[in-house]
Structure 1
């Protein structure tokens, strides 16, 4: 029975370990230049990493997209992920890693949405999927949502300001981990079957 319980415990803890390389980060400030050729960010600061907040810049977040493939910059549209990039660098001053935290690119269409317009003031949102590697070299994927503010006049010049962004990335389970999980479940099945056979025999 003890062996069965140990195997059961492994079946619960192994999936948790497989997803332990998650990244949750927030960025603020900076600008983007936007045109039909694409979007390029500049000067956005990493302000929070996995719940850690030092009160100062913790690094940088930079990204770029491919060209506009549908819709318009003024009213909302879709940008291509071809030739895109997304990179997060930590400076190690608040518990976050020093160096590359994430390096990758957008995957699939990137949505550019006009959220609201009040007079000449505009609020936009950018959302898209991401894939790449974390600082440990493990493959991760997830999504990012970036919020922006600008004015009609600034947008005509391709100038938009980053309000904030939220990026969540999760590591995919490694094949070896999945293999161990499968063996654990198989062991549990065998133990349960044996006990059922024993209990079903006449006394």
Structure 2
């Protein structure tokens, strides 16, 4: 009986040891970044790399990355500012090259989103969006951060619409969802029982 209790404890602890603290990195490019005082939104950006969860997958089109921030809190669209938390953020896979088909991560911006303008030596401009995230992946809760870099806007300023040059979103697993823990724990208990019966036979 004591052995079964110990096995049950190990079965519930193992999933946490495997998943908690691990991270997955998603890379995207392209897409249209639109903005107004109501917020910034990205559509049509292509997911081209997934690094983590036991492997590194690349491809010309593995899925998509899209989001919408909260409203502008301070600053301006042209010179940079801060947008409110909230909104939404979604990474979707299309089933290519081993990437699952469906939602890979969905969540919201958990804090203010920064919109930074950088003036290069030649007088042209780039903009960078940076924001912290909280949400869920496939069977786990997660926190993360996304950094999205726009294409060079020339010597003009952001006028409400531009393209994304590159983006990176790093998602860190906090705790597997209870359903995943219970399912794996139950499976391990069943396996332990089968092995115990075979040893007695």
Q: Any conservation in 1 of the 2:25–2:168 contact (CA below 8 Å)?
A: yes
How far apart, CA to CA, are the structure 2 residues paired with 1:117 and 1:133? 37
- Larger % of strand: which? 2
User: Which residue does the alignment assign to 2:101?
Assistant: 98
In structure 1, stretches of 5+ residues that fail to align are 1-9, 178-203
User: Which residue does the alignment assign to 2:110?
Assistant: 107
How is 1:44-193 mapped onto 2 (pairs within 5 angstroms)? 44-50=45-51, 51-54=56-59, 56-82=60-86, 84-117=87-120, 121-136=124-139, 138-149=140-151, 150-151=153-154, 153=156, 155=158, 157-174=159-176
How far apart, CA to CA, are the structure 2 residues paired with 1:130 and 1:170? 10
- Cα RMSD of the aligned pairs, angstroms, is 2.6
Count, aligned residues = 166
For each residue in 1:45-80, what CA deviation from the matched residue of structure 2 results, as whole angstroms up to 9, or x when unmatched? 0010113102x1100000110111011111111000
User: Which residue does the alignment assign to 2:40?
Assistant: 39
Mark the CA change 1:60 to 1:118 in structure 2 (over 3 Å): closer, same or farther: same
In structure 2, stretches of 5+ residues that fail to align are 1-9, 182-201
Q: TM-score, structure 1 length as denominator? A: 0.72
Q: Any conservation in 2 of the 1:81–1:110 contact (CA below 8 Å)?
A: yes
How far apart, CA to CA, are the structure 1 residues paired with 2:98 and 2:119? 36
Q: Any conservation in 1 of the 2:36–2:160 contact (CA below 8 Å)?
A: yes
User: Which moves more between the two structures, 110-119 or 32-41?
Assistant: 110-119
Q: TM-score, structure 2 length as denominator? A: 0.73
Shift of 1:21: 5.6
Shift of 1:120: 6.3
Mark the CA change 1:105 to 1:59 in structure 2 (over 3 Å): closer, same or farther: same
How far apart, CA to CA, are the structure 2 residues paired with 1:132 and 1:175? 12
How far apart, CA to CA, are the structure 1 residues paired with 2:176 and 2:138? 16
Q: Any conservation in 2 of the 1:154–1:160 contact (CA below 8 Å)?
A: no
